[in-house]
Amino acid sequence: MNHLVRNGLVTGVPKLGIAVADDCMPCKKGKQQRKSHKPKTQNSIDTPLELLHMDLFGPISIRSIGGKSYCLVVTDDFSRFYWVHFLGTKDDTAEILQYPILILESLCKLKVRRIRSDNGIEFKNNTMEFFCLKKGIHHEFSAPYTPQQNGVAERKNKTLIETARMMLLDAKLLITFWAEAVNTSCHFLNRVLVVKRYYETCYELINNRPPNLDYLVPFGYVANSPCKRVYNIETRSVEEWFEVDCSKPSVPLEPTGLTWGIDYDALFKSFNLPDLSAEDAASLYQHCSGGDDSNFSTRSTVPIPTPSSNAASVSRTHESDNEEDTNVEGNDT
């Protein structure tokens, strides 16, 4: 402000020395933001399953085909390989989380040493505490209301959600297939994402062999190859079939339901309104916008559709009125 007044850049302000304190509390409060966590310069994790990051996202507004609303994402810190599990409620998290940990230790022949999550009650409960004590796992929690401390899991959630959304839009499928899209994106990203410090894919770091992508087909298509997850129209469920007999991948069918909330084309067609000419449309617009009613001659020429039941009742009413008029005339004579 002193600079503006002294150089004549503004008017109406007296030339007084305005002293400004070094610490302006309103300025600090107005510009405050969450403190960022600096990334580690050197990763101390050197073996798979040494540290697992986990987080839960949901509830999704529309349930999946299997009736699930939540998705549990478990990420390995070393290989960045991650697994997804779908839940109906948050209460199932503690029980379902025990099975993948036991299976991973058996398949990889390694031991899970630490797990990291937020302070949600789905992770911080007696069931999880007893399981960690039994298996000798150290459970780390992030600070309350500080999701940036669990950044690995949060970024994986964002990547999965964005990829699944793009797959649904490209395949023109309904939102009820969101779980299948998330599951497919997880399977695909584990085989194509490269860890920079090792220059290998997530799949190769945890399985010690490069992935084979020969069997992949576009999401939403059907191909003649074994072990595919297909949607059974009769049972309305997703099933795994050993062989899908189809000539070649075909374009997905258009969804039969409402994709964006309201189907305006079908709504307007249900009114059975007649097609208006340009002159009738101009006259109708002039009348609705407050123009002269004397020039609106198309009101009698534009028919208004009436249901058959109403038309029948109206005709019967006219007939009854005519009968009453006839009886009145007969009485007068």
What pLDDT digit, counting tens, does each position of 121-139 carry?
A: 889 999 999 999 999 999 9
176, 65 contact by CB (below 8 A): yes
123's CB contacts (< 8 A; 6+ apart) are: 54, 56, 93, 94, 117, 139, 141
User: What is the predicted pLDDT for the residue at 22?
Assistant: 66
Task: Give the whole-angstrom CA distance, residue 204 versus residue 212.
Answer: 10
Q: What tokens were used for 80?
A: 């960045």
What is 51-217's CATH superfamily? Answer: Ribonuclease H-like superfamily/Ribonuclease H (3.30.420.10)
What pLDDT digit, counting tens, does each position of 60-104 carry?
A: 888 888 888 999 999 999 999 999 999 998 888 988 888 889 988
Domain spans in the chain, listed from the N-terminal domain onward: 51-217, 272-306
What pLDDT digit, counting tens, does each position of 144-158 carry?
A: 888 888 888 888 999
147, 157 contact by CB (below 8 A): no
Which whole number is the average pLDDT over 253-259? 50
